[in-house]
Amino acid sequence: MRPAIFFDCDGVLNEEPGGHGVLGPNDIRLIPGAGKALRTAREAGYLAIIVTNRAQVAKGFVTLAGLETIFERLRELLARDGGIIDAIYFCPHHPERTPGGAPEFQIVCECRKPGTLLLRRAIADFDIDVGRSALIGDSLRDIGAGRAMGLTSYGVQTGFACRDVERYPDRAPPEPDRMFADVGEAVAFCVAHPWKYGQAGQPD
C-alpha cells in the first residue's frame, strides 16, 4: 500500500477565479510553487491525486470534452516545474435543476465533496494507505470529505482559505488539522513530518 496526498484543484493548485469558476484552459493560473509542491510530494514517495468538484458541467458551462482540455492545461503547467499528477477524480454533478444545464448531471450524488466517493474510488484504485495519507484543500467541503475518510486534512490560506462556514448553517463545520499559507508549505510539512500519518510511536 502507498501513501498519497490528495489535492483540491481551484484555490489550491491554481487560483480560484470566482464567478462560475474555471471555464476554459486559459482560465488556469497556477498558485506560485504548485508544480514544485507536487514534485516534492512524489519525490518523497507520495502519490499526487486531484479530487475536484466540477459543477460547471451540470450547469452547462463546460462539457466533459472541455473539462479534459482544462485538465490537460493544468497538467502541462504543473509539469513545467516537475509536478506530475498521478490521477484526477472529478464530480460533474450538482443537485440544482438550472435552465440551460445538463439534466443528466443535475442529480444528488455521493461524489460531490463533502461526499466521499471520489476519495473512495482513488483509495481502491491505487491501494492507498489512508493512515499515511493526507488531503490539502481550501474549502471546508474538502476538509469534510477528508475527515470523513479518516485522512489528515490540511487547509491553505489561498482560495477560500477554509472560511466558507456558510456551507454549514445547521451544524458545526469541519476544522482543518492545520492551516498553511499555501500548497507548498503544506506539502513541505507532510514530507517533513511523516509520523503525522499514523506511524505508531513517533513524536507528535
Residue tagged 509520523 (cell numbers): 195
The residue annotated as part of the active site, out of 10, 86, 142, 182, is 10
Quote the CA–CA distance of 54 and 62 in Å, as a whole number.
Answer: 9
The reply to whether 10 belongs to the active site is yes
Quote the CA–CA distance of 128 and 194 in Å, as a whole number.
Answer: 15
String of DSSP letters for 63-103:
-HHHHHHHHHHHHHHHHTTT---SEEEEE---SS--TTS-G
Enzyme catalytic residues: 8, 10
